[in-house]
Amino acid sequence: MFKIGIIGGTGYTGAELLRILANHPQAEVTIISSRAECGKSVAEIYPNLRGSYNLSFSVPTVDELALCDLVFFATPHGVAMNQAPELLARGVKVIDLGADFRIKDTDEWAKWYGMQHSALAEVSEAVYGLPEINREKIRQARLVANPGCYPTAAQLGLIPLITNNIIDPSDLIIDAKSGVSGAGRGANVPMLLCESSENFKSYGVAGHRHLPEIVQGLEQHTSAKIGLTFVPHLVPMIRGMQATMYGTILDKTVDIQALFEDYYKDEFFVDVMPEGSLPETRSVKGANFCRISVFRPQDGNKVVVLSVIDNLAKGASTQAIQNMNIMLGLEEALGLTALGMMP
Ligand SMILES: NC(=O)c1ccc[n+]([C@@H]2O[C@H](COP(=O)([O-])OP(=O)(O)OC[C@H]3O[C@@H](n4cnc5c(N)ncnc54)[C@H](OP(=O)(O)O)[C@@H]3O)[C@@H](O)[C@H]2O)c1
């Protein structure tokens, strides 16, 4: 059994890590942190976990965390960069669900995240944890930067087209929608039921923090400059995310459906749906799957890619466990084969 620690155990991604790891045959959560709920049992905060954990929230010391094989940071940005280096030095593997190690250009990171980076060497070392793209590097990694939710849905939908030069990389549009849990559990007026229910709105139109992450990810697959317009929206549901993506086709002779099916033919967690079908967020609710479908409306020069994930699952915690499995030399899908919940 591998010993697992979680920093930030009361947040939504921390709770989702706990839910999935409760049934993982090779991982045992031994430390779960919270400053606000220190001393309370896990079941007191998350009754769905009653009977699965005999564990209380604590504020662990580095010595206590150093007894873990792997520690997840399910914390806001700025936390992991201050604590991960010491754990790495003590031989602990680290997965950060936050943004501290995702962006290689730390000046760019500082611009978007409003603080100076404090762990420059670790940023260079970190492997971006999109397993379908970086599996072999993740296998060797001590430190994995788990991707953001929008960047996961977006990159899985666009990389097959970018890498095969099917679309113009300088003219991409991502129109994306997220459920409210994407904003986390902290009290925040716009996320209250009365504010977000029966409402639909865009945000971050002038610039969202996931934009540089998506651009950096796509740039790995082309020598051309990426031109991206990214507009996220908030939809009144708890979980789920869809990225609807538009690209201008360069080569109209290519069978795009066949290209996607071939690109992901060995990927268990990416489901390329049959031609003409529409992926639904509820089909991946609570599951580590990404469902994709592709269209070329009216046989025109635009391709439309629809990509759905659960923001808390493939967009965060189950993808982090997929990375954990790879880093620990376990079977990649171990503990992750649960299907989406419908209705
Ligand atoms: N929500 C999503 O859909 C989603 C998807 C992908 C990635 N992410 C990323 O994952 C991370 C966690 O997101 P979340 O939605 O789970 O957040 P959240 O619900 O706001 O929870 C944050 C957790 O971090 C702890 N925490 C806050 N400040 C801390 C500090 N300085 N030191 C130690 N612990 C601290 C909090 O507990 P205490 O304050 O009690 O210690 C809480 O347990 C974020 O970086 C977020 O951007 C979220």
* pLDDT at 187 exceeding the cut of 90: no
* DSSP string over 81-149: HHHHHHHHHTT-EEEESSSTTT-S-HHHHHHHHSS--S-HHHHHHPEE--HHHHHHHHHH-SEEEPPPH
Q: Are residues 214 and 292 in the same domain?
A: yes
Q: Are residues 76 and 196 in the same domain?
A: no
For residue 148, report the distance from its CA to the centre of ligand 1, in Å. 13
Q: Are residues 215 and 138 in the same domain?
A: no
Q: Are residues 204 and 294 in the same domain?
A: yes
* pLDDT one-digit tens code per residue, 57-66: 999 999 999 9
Q: Rounded to whole angstroms, how far apart are CA atoms 281 and 41?
A: 32
For residue 75, report the distance from its CA to the centre of ligand 1, in Å. 3
Asked if the bond preceding 343 is cis, omega within 30° of 0, the reply is yes
Q: Are residues 138 and 154 in the same domain?
A: no
Q: Rounded to whole angstroms, how far apart are CA atoms 85 and 235?
A: 37
* pLDDT one-digit tens code per residue, 231-249: 999 999 999 999 999 999 9
Q: Are residues 138 and 219 in the same domain?
A: no
* pLDDT one-digit tens code per residue, 129-167: 999 999 999 999 999 999 999 999 999 999 999 999 999
Q: Are residues 190 and 234 in the same domain?
A: yes
* pLDDT at 10 exceeding the cut of 90: yes
- Cβ atoms of 176 and 153 closer than 8 Å: yes
Pocket of ligand 1 (CB under 6 A): 7-14, 33-37, 74-77, 79, 97-99, 148-149, 181-182, 184-186, 311-312, 315-316
Q: Rounded to whole angstroms, how far apart are CA atoms 34 and 10?
A: 6
Q: Is residue 343 part of a domain?
A: no
For residue 163 the two structure tokens come to 């890498």
Q: Is residue 240 part of a domain?
A: yes
Q: Which residues contact 29 (CB under 8 A, 6 or more apart)?
A: 4, 5, 6, 17, 18, 21, 53, 55
Q: Is residue 75 part of a domain?
A: yes
Among protein residues, the one with the nearest Cα to ligand 1's atom 47 is 98
Q: Are residues 141 and 173 in the same domain?
A: no
Place 75 in a pLDDT band, splitting at 50, 70 and 90. very high
- Cβ atoms of 176 and 307 closer than 8 Å: no
Q: Rounded to whole angstroms, how far apart are CA atoms 129 and 16?
A: 18
Q: Is residue 336 part of a domain?
A: no
CATH (domain of 243): 3.30.360.10
Bridge partners (DSSP) of residue 56 are 41
Q: Is residue 23 part of a domain?
A: yes
The whole-number average pLDDT for the span 71-99 is 98
Structural domain count, the chain: 2
Q: Are residues 136 and 158 in the same domain?
A: no
pLDDT computed for residue 109 by the predictor: 98
Name the residue of 16, 58, 72, 75 whose CB sits within 8 Å of the most ligand 1 atoms, as the mutation to test its pocket.
75
* Amino acid letter, residue 163: T
Domain encompassing residue 131: 2-146+316-327
Can you say whether residue 253 is alpha, beta or left, with left for phi > 0 and alpha for psi between -120 and 50 degrees? alpha
Q: Rounded to whole angstroms, how far apart are CA atoms 136 and 123?
A: 18
Q: Are residues 86 and 210 in the same domain?
A: no
pLDDT computed for residue 100 by the predictor: 98
Does the model's pTM come out above 0.75?
A: yes
Q: Are residues 293 and 249 in the same domain?
A: yes
SS3 214: helix
The whole-number average pLDDT for the span 179-197 is 92
Ligand 1 atom with the smallest distance to the CA of 9 is 43
Q: Rounded to whole angstroms, how far apart are CA atoms 211 and 230?
A: 7
Known catalytic residues are 149
Q: Is residue 266 part of a domain?
A: yes
- Name the DSSP letter for residue 13: H
* pLDDT one-digit tens code per residue, 304-322: 999 999 999 999 999 999 9
Ligand 1 atom with the smallest distance to the CA of 78 is 31
CATH (domain of 82): 3.40.50.720
Q: Are residues 127 and 17 in the same domain?
A: yes
